[in-house]
Amino acid sequence: MVKPDGVQRGIVGEIISRVEKKGLKIVALRMNVIAESVAKEHYNEHEDKPFFASLISYVTSGPSVSMVIEGKNAISTMRTINGATNPADALPGTIRGDFAIETGRNVVHASDSVDSGKREIGIHFEMSEISDYSKIDEEYLYE
């Protein structure tokens, strides 16, 4: 997900470009303002944390871009592309290392496991919205 700060800063294309240049495949994409109930469901593991209310307020403050991304090791690859959650710890060349300054405005979100990914995809997308296709370069990306 490109969060509202990434959309407002006009770096959605840069982020998508990094995903595609890495060889990952975008199979669903949507830009919308996430409803508060959807945001609470998405971030329910943080419900008891002191930053929960501000996180929900922020992620619903403007449009974000949600994506479903496929590819070998897509979750770990996306987390590497994104960089550390705290931008102060994110390496240069990562999205957060290049564009973010504060944890509360860290530009992107990526699922942390297959189970989380499945849960989050189910929150944001209907299965009919996810495209099943092969990219022409897949035979050159994978052994």
Active-site residue list: 109
Q: Which helix (H) or strand (E) holds 4?
A: helix 4-8
Nearest one of 64, 62, 80, 99 to 19, comparing CA atoms:
80
